[in-house]
Amino acid sequence: MNNSDKKKMQWGTRVGVILAVAGSAVGLGNFLRFPGQAAAHGGGAFMIPYIAALLLLALPIGWCEWAMARYGGEKGFHSGPAIMGVVGRGRVARYFGILAVLIPMVVYMYYVYIEAWCLRYAWEYLVGGVALTGSIDEQVKTAGTFFSQTTGTDTNGVLNMSTVFWLIVVVLNIVLVYRGLRGGIEKFCQFALPAMAVLAVIVLIRVLTLGTPNPAYPEQNVLNGLGYLWNPDFSKLTHFDTWLAAAGQVFFSLSVGFGVILNYASYLKKKDDIALSGFTASATNELFEVGFGGLITITAAFVFLGASGVGGGFGLGFQTLPVVFEQMGAIGRWIGFAWFFLLFLAAITSSISMLQPAKAFFEEALGISSGKAIAWVSAICGLGSLWVIWFSKNMVALDTMDFWVGTFCIFVLATVQIICFGWVWGVKNGAREIDQGALIRIPRVFLFIMKYVAPAYLLVVLAGFTYFDLRKKLGEMAGNPVALWTLIIIGAVVMLLLAMVAIGERRWRAAGMDLDGRRLLPGESK
Amino acid sequence: MNTGGWIFMLVSLALVWGTTIWAYIRLLSAPAERPDEPGKE
């Protein structure tokens, strides 16, 4: 790495790195997935398992990642496999570490396409291209047709207008990552996060002041809309799937076990704080999720469409809400633009964080320049993304990648990480690392949680996930060639990454680097 | 919205707004970061 590359790969400010990590975590799930999950699993009562998962799972694992990453960075490593090799003290952890590159790369392949939908919707609202007319039922139908045309969910093999927006967001992602941490990712997140907050407040104010827009349906008002999401149903707390859903939501929302923090925090200096930084990044994510996501989408949909119009996920965001914006009159167009531009910013701050870990790994393993690394990563991810766009019917390729890599592999990586942290590297060494330069002292009970509670919790969640979801998914996949070929593509990327770890090992050993974490730092114990 | 709904919503909002504001105040009132020393990374 030359001096110019080194300078590019440093964080500029303390707040900058926090906004970059928070930007990575805040995504579409905060606004679309969280409210749907909460409404379906006990409303306000959902917050009990949600906060439990936050304190016992996501927050401690997040701190572990920050600590492992900075420790790896002190040893000169910035990629997931290399850092896992150091903390996990050897080859097995290093090879499992490819998940920290595989997950962001594969998730990027479909995420960037969803990002293109958001940009396209924002553009269409800006130029007045979304025209929904007729009765509510007709508008729902038109919105559904527009969604199918935008996303290509009704047929395979079509490169439609959204591909142009895909190309724009791909180029934007590449440019931002190529400009480095300080000049690209950090600078962009310093603009994007505050902009997202402003847009969210604008949409929120409009939604909370809707009152009772249709006198024919007095029960469809803002308070009942909020009640639909927040009224607690304690009976749901006795269901295992409520606890599983809460753990999954917190986990994916905070981007733990994703490979991003492992890379981002490796560029911190030895005396930089990680305890308060990790906490602040998580708090920022929760503000967007609970403070905005928990108030906007379901309330808006309920007020205009009633309980039957409320769902979760893409349907709510891309099909139901355009109908809601239409009911708002002239201002609806601008609220629609604000909403989809907010989703676009949430998506792009996440997608740039997905390219960066892979770029760092290519540089580190192959010893190539930053420019060549981003070119290779972009080419591989771009081809994968085109596969997703081409086989868009019923989103089979997208769903397959999302399930196996964007869900299952995240659980596996998080389990490997927490075991390496608590049982191989040791919580004592981990605590020493977290306390170094810390602006807050994390309560010591978290060390117990990191060693015993989080791994146990995670294993229960993984077992529940395997029992409930994995069997179902395997059944769905049987006989679906697109799903099977998508799995083969993921397998090919795995093989490539494994080969690169083998190449990297030779290079790192020849350079005299401590790739197995055998040389202890001052104050560290075996 | 019933009383339980109000309680859960207000407590949740107070929690997320409170912790976020506390965290940023703590962060911004911390001693300034030292610039890189010349010759060191």
Nearest alpha-carbon partner for A324 in A126, A316, A29: A316
Answer whether B8 sits within 8 Å of A43, measured CB to CB.
yes
Please give the residue that has the higher pLDDT: either A167 or A212: A167
Nearest alpha-carbon partner for A430 in A300, A319, A524, A334: A524
Q: Buried b vs exposed e over A254-264: b needs ≥16 C-beta within 10 Å?
A: bbbbbbbbbbb
Q: Is the pLDDT of residue B33 over 50?
A: yes
Of B1, B8, B33, the CB nearest to A47: B8
The top-scoring range by mean pLDDT among A4-8, A77-81, A237-241 is A77-81
- Of 2.60.40, 2.30.30, 1.20.58, 1.20.1740, the CATH number of A28-510 is 1.20.1740
Please give the residue that has the higher pLDDT: either A526 or A172: A172
Of A6, A224, A440, the CB nearest to B26: A440
Q: pLDDT-based confidence at B38, cuts 50/70/90?
A: very low
Q: Is the pLDDT of residue B35 over 60?
A: no
Phi-psi region of B26 (alpha: psi -120 to 50; beta: other; left: phi over 0): alpha
Average pLDDT over residues A241-252: 85
Predicted pLDDT at A303? 87
The SS3 assignment for A443 reads: coil
Q: Please give the Cα distance from A60 to A434 (Å, whole number).
A: 11
A-B contacts (CB, under 8 Å) = 85
CB atoms within 10 A of CB A161: 13
Q: What are phi and psi of A519, to 5 degrees?
A: -85, 115
* CA dist list (Å): A427 to A64, A267, A431, A460: 9, 22, 6, 21
Predicted pLDDT at A245? 85
* % of chain B residues with pLDDT over 90: 68
Q: Please give the Cα distance from A521 to A58 (Å, whole number).
A: 28
**What is the number of alpha carbons within 13 Å of residue A421 lying toward its C-beta?**
35
Which chain B residue lies closest to A14 (C-alpha atoms)? B33
Average pLDDT over residues A75-103: 96
Which chain A residue lies closest to B28 (C-alpha atoms)? A15
Of B5, B13, B28, the CB nearest to A291: B13
**What is the number of alpha carbons within 13 Å of residue A259 lying toward its C-beta?**
34
- Two structure tokens written together for A89: 């003290």
> Which residues have C-beta within 8 Å of that of residue B19, sequence separation ≥ 6?
A279, A283, A286
Give yes or no for a contact between A262 and A85, defined as CB atoms under 8 angstroms apart. Answer: no
Give yes or no for a contact between A186 and A20, defined as CB atoms under 8 angstroms apart. Answer: yes
Q: Please give the Cα distance from A327 to A387 (Å, whole number).
A: 37
CB atoms within 10 A of CB A214: 13
Answer whether B8 sits within 8 Å of A14, measured CB to CB.
no
Least confident of A80-94, A168-182, A222-236, A302-316: A302-316
Domains of chain A by residue range: 28-510
Q: What are phi and psi of A131, to 5 degrees?
A: -115, 110
B-chain CB neighbours of A44 within 8 Å are 4-5, 7-9, 12
Average pLDDT over residues A465-474: 80
Please give the residue that has the higher pLDDT: either A177 or A241: A177
Which chain A residue lies closest to B20 (C-alpha atoms)? A283
Q: Is the pLDDT of residue B36 over 60?
A: no
Nearest alpha-carbon partner for A246 in A29, A44, A454, A52: A52
